[in-house]
Structure formats: structure tokens, C-alpha cells
Amino acid sequence: RRPALITFMKALILAGGMGTRLRPLTLSTPKPLLPLLDRPMVMHIIDSLPAEVDTVVLAVSYMKDLLEGYFLKHDCGRKVVLVNEEEPLGTGGAVRNVRQYLDGTFLCFNGDIISSLDLNDMLAFHRRHGGIGTLALWRVQDPSAFGVVGLEGARITVFQEKPAPGEAISDLINAGVYVFEPELLEHIPPGVVSLERQVFPNVLDRGLYGYRFDGHWVDCGTPAGYLEAQRALLERGRTKVAPAIVRGSELIGPNYIDGASLSGCRVGPFVCALPGASIGEGSTVEGSVLMEGATIGRGCTVRACLLGPGTMVKDGSALQGRALAPLRGRQAGLH
Ligand code: GTP
């Protein structure tokens, strides 16, 4: 008998975008490092990778030093290579820029996607169809904010970017998770290039396939998406109730409370409060995240808010749908 052949593969995570839609949080933390419950967004992707992935290549640019610092401190069980772009090269340019680190079939991710995708199944689908690439597709009710994909059988025949309401050719959108053959790299010109708009439409004749899946999929790149991803994870049991101090508070689950102090407040559902966060007397907090050390005073109502590390909500405030972040000693807020 011959010994089993172990093949290894690489996964590329696109993590260099500026994350403007999540400002001001992304002015001090790059989007891939924003916490989703117990770990940064990008770790949810890394932890979901199939066992055969031995190397993670991160295409970075914006705030790359913070990403580098994180991976120097945290062992994620795989080799991690950070490849910098002096100027962001777009999603396609980023893939081309890491080409010397790629060999063989590789996985590629937008770094801000949370999903229930079965990557082993997607890889098997890709190998069965034998195209230059496979795109994960997610069904949505309103595709007008997304890149829409038209299929014949499993083969992608057309792309449509952000169609006007009622004009979408299908309800399937590009979910930002791909399997590519190295040949794709030959079709990315130098410079700033968009994978979705410039590369994919040009390689349709080489065989691009669409892999549909069920479960959940969330693009965390907007405040609403971020909170939806948090909710999806909590609904699937990723909960925790371990406050540092709790005095006379009402907790309505599911929540993720880790090392936060709660006194005489009403918390939940769908609240994440991280170490050092606190919620004061008479406050109500729902569907929000309190990052490390975020403080909500007394008598506040906070709903659907993203409170960055160390931010403070003053006594008696009523906040809905806000993102707050610390900025060089002061605090910035954005509706
Ligand atoms: P917005 O500014 O809010 O649109 O966010 P973004 O800059 O992250 O852009 P978008 O959400 O469209 O990006 C999707 C994924 O691609 C994210 O994981 C980004 O980090 C990544 N990305 C976008 N542009 C670049 C780029 O120029 N270089 C690299 N390396 N990654 C990118």
C-alpha cells in the first residue's frame, strides 16, 4: 500500500480595505480586527478553514502594522504570511500582488464575511466542475445593493452590479468566497483592479461556477451587517454569561457577556459586552456591542449601537443605530 498523499493548500484573505462604512470604528482598528464576540472578525474565517489549509496569506494595506502585531502575538495554528500593498490595489490587484505565495488551487475570501459555508463541500464542487474558479452564491430578497450572478445550470454566464430595483437578473449574489485555480492570476492586469468588475466578466469563457449554500451569510462591512453577524452567531449558540460584576440586573438572552460589569440594568437580547465594559443603573441595552472598556452611564437607552473600545455614553443618553470610537483622546460619533 502506498502512504496516503497529504496535500496542503493556501487560503488568501483580502484584508486591506479601508472599511469606510464602519467609520469611526475603523479609524483606530482595521476592519478584520474588529471583535465579533470572542475574536476578531478575520479569526472567524481562519478558524473555519479546512484542515488541508496550512498557510494563510493576508493581503493587507490599511493599518497593516496592527494586523501584523495581532498575528505576531496570536498563534492561529497555521503559517500566516502578511503581504503589503503600498497603495491599496483593489480586490483583483491584491490577489495578483500575492502571486508568488500561491501554488495550486487556493481559497480566497473577503475578510469581512461571516457564513455557514461548508468549505470542504465547496472545494469538492470546484474539483468536480473543473473551471478556473468557483464563487459561493447567496440568495437574497433584494439584490440591488450587491453583485448579482446569472447562472445556466451551475455555470456563471453573466454578472450584474447593483441592479436597479426590479431589474435584477437573479436573486443570487456573490458571497465573497472563492476557489481559484492559479491560472486566474494570468487574467489580472497590473495596477488597481477589481476582481468582481474587471476580472470575473473576462474569464467567463474559462468556466466560472456558482456554488449555492444555505444557513447564514452576513457581510459585516456596515454597522447593520456587523450587528446582524453578531446576532447570527448568538442565535447559533455562541453565547456566554460571565460578567465581572453583576448587581440586580436583568439579562435577556442570548448575549455574550465576558468580564463586563452590570449594575441595575437591563441587557439583551443580542448584546456583546467585552472585558472592562460596564453598564450603569437603570440603563437598557439591546442589540449592541460594547468593546473593551466601553462604558454606558446611568439611565441610558442604547439600541443597535457599536461602542468602540474605551468609549463612554453619558448618563441619561438615548442612542439608536450609532457607532462610537475613541479618537486621539476624544470620542467620535457617526450616525
Ligand atoms: P468600505 O470602504 O466600507 O467599502 O470597505 P472595504 O474597504 O473593506 O471594501 P469592501 O468591503 O468592498 O472590501 C471587501 C473585502 O476586500 C474586505 O475584506 C477588504 O478588506 C478587502 N479589500 C478591499 N479593497 C482592498 C484592497 O485594495 N486591497 C486589499 N488587500 N484588500 C482589499
Q: Where in the sequence numbering do the catalytic residues fall?
A: 162
Indicate if ligand 1 lies below 6 Å from the C-beta of 111.
Answer: yes
Minimal CA–CA distance to 59: which of 17, 27, 119?
17
Of 247 and 123, the structure prediction assigns the larger pLDDT to 123
Q: pLDDT at residue 333 above 80? A: no
Q: pLDDT at residue 35 above 80? A: yes
The answer to whether the CB of 318 falls within 8 A of the CB of 301 is yes
Indicate if ligand 1 lies below 6 Å from the C-beta of 143.
Answer: no
The answer to whether the CB of 280 falls within 8 A of the CB of 265 is yes
Q: pLDDT at residue 36 above 80? A: yes
Total residue count of the chain as it appears in this document? 335
Write the residue with the smallest CA distance to atom 14 of ligand 1: 110
Helix (H) or strand (E) holding 92: helix 90-97
Q: pLDDT at residue 334 above 50? A: no
For residue 247, name the pLDDT band (cuts at 50, 70, 90).
Answer: confident
Among the residue ranges 9-18, 33-42, 235-244, the one predicted with the least confidence is 235-244
Q: Give the Å distance between the CA of 179 and the centre of ligand 1.
A: 18
Rounded CA-CA distance 306/229 in Å is 13
Q: 32 CB contacts (<8 Å, ≥6 apart)?
A: 13, 15, 40, 41, 42, 58, 67, 111, 112
Testing ligand 1's pocket by substitution, the residue of 91, 97, 173 carrying the most ligand atoms inside 8 A of its CB is 91
DSSP state of 5: P
Q: pLDDT at residue 332 above 90? A: no
Predicted pLDDT of residue 335: 38
Write the residue with the smallest CA distance to atom 22 of ligand 1: 17
Indicate if ligand 1 lies below 6 Å from the C-beta of 133.
Answer: no
Rounded CA-CA distance 313/296 in Å is 5
The mean pLDDT value for 170-174 works out to 96
Q: pLDDT at residue 224 above 60? A: yes
Of 335 and 64, the structure prediction assigns the larger pLDDT to 64
The answer to whether the CB of 40 falls within 8 A of the CB of 229 is no
Q: Give the Å distance between the CA of 20 and the centre of ligand 1.
A: 9
Indicate if ligand 1 lies below 6 Å from the C-beta of 299.
Answer: no
Task: State what percent of residues in the chain have pLDDT above 70.
Answer: 96
Q: pLDDT at residue 96 above 50? A: yes
The answer to whether the CB of 8 falls within 8 A of the CB of 52 is yes
Indicate if ligand 1 lies below 6 Å from the C-beta of 223.
Answer: no
The mean pLDDT value for 188-195 works out to 96
Q: pLDDT at residue 327 above 90? A: no
Write the residue with the smallest CA distance to atom 27 of ligand 1: 90
Write the residue with the smallest CA distance to atom 5 of ligand 1: 19
Q: pLDDT at residue 195 above 90? A: yes
Testing ligand 1's pocket by substitution, the residue of 13, 14, 68 carrying the most ligand atoms inside 8 A of its CB is 14
